[in-house]
Structure 1
Amino acid sequence: MLKLGAVAAVCLYSVSAFACGLHQSAGFNMTIEQGSLDVFASVIEVRQSGEFNNANKPDHFRLFSFKSSLEKPHANKVDFTLFEAIKGHYSDVKMEPSVQVTGKDILPTQAEVMLVTELDILDALATGILSWDEAKHLGLVHINGPEQKKRALDVWFTGIFQG
C-alpha cells in the first residue's frame, strides 16, 4: 500500500512539474490577484444558490454573450485583462478591430486594467440577469489597475450592463 502511495505522489508531482504555471493546469497552486479571494467566495456562494441558472452553459456560449455585449457602441471602451478568480486563468480582452478574447501568455503588468470575476458572472451581466451595480454590490467583480482605466471600465460596464 505504501508503494502505491509513493507511485501516486510521483505521478502527481510529474504532472504538476509540467503544468503551465500561468494557467494553473494542475490545480496545485492558486493564483491570487487583489480582490480575487473575495470574488472567489462570492461566486461560489452565488453558484451554490443556483440564482443565475447558467451553471450548465458551456464556457464558449458564456463568452459569446459577453463579447456580443462588448460590441455595443460606448465612449469608454478599454482593453483589459480578465482574471477568472476560481480558474486562475488570465485572458486578454482587446476591442479592435472587433472584440477578441485570447489566453494570456504573460502575467499582466500594473499598468493594465484587470477585471476579476468568472465567465458565468459575465454571462449573467450580458443576458440581463445581473446589473453591473448588483455585481459590484454582491462582490462578484473587482477591478484592479490604474485609476483612470478602472474608472473607464466601470463607466463602460455601468452603461452596458444595466440589468
Structure 2
Amino acid sequence: IILGRRITLPTSSQNNARRTEKKQHSPFILSNTRKRAQQNSNKNSNKNNIAPQKMSEKITEETSKRICKHMNEDHAHTIHYMAQSILLTSNKKKKGEIKNATMTSISNKEYCIRFVLCNGDLCEMCHETIAFYPTPLVDSKDARYVFFTLAHELQTSFF
C-alpha cells in the first residue's frame, strides 16, 4: 500500500500472456525490416558522431561459401521452401518432388539455389538464380535480415 492506495502488480501468468501477444505479429515485410536496420545503424552512428556508411561492402567468395554452408547445414528446410516457391512462381510450370535443395552462392545482387526435381522416374537437376528485390544487399549482415524475413514468409505461406 502506497499513500493509502492499493497497487496490484501483474502476476507472472499475465506477463507471459502479454509476451505471447507481442510475439504474434503479422509477417515482416522486407522493406520495413531493412528500414528498421538502417534506422538503428543511423542512430548508433549519430551517437558516435560518425557518418553512416553509404558504400556497400561486396560479399566475397569466402563470405558466400560461409553463408551457403550455414544455410545448407542449419536451414535446409528454408532452402527447400525457397525451391518450392521458385517452382510455384516460375513461368516454366514444372511439377514434381524437390530433393537435395542447396544454396550454391550468394552475392550482393542475387543468390543461387540448386535442386533435383523428380517427376515419376524422371529426375532433372535445376539451377535457379534469384535477384534480391527491390534493392541489392548492402553487406553480408543484410543477408541475415533478408533470409530471416524470407524464411518467415515462406513458412507462414506453406503451413
TM-score normalised by length of structure 2: 0.30
Larger-Rg structure: 2
Q: Please state which structure has a larger fraction of its residues in strand.
A: 2
TM-score (normalizing by structure 1): 0.30
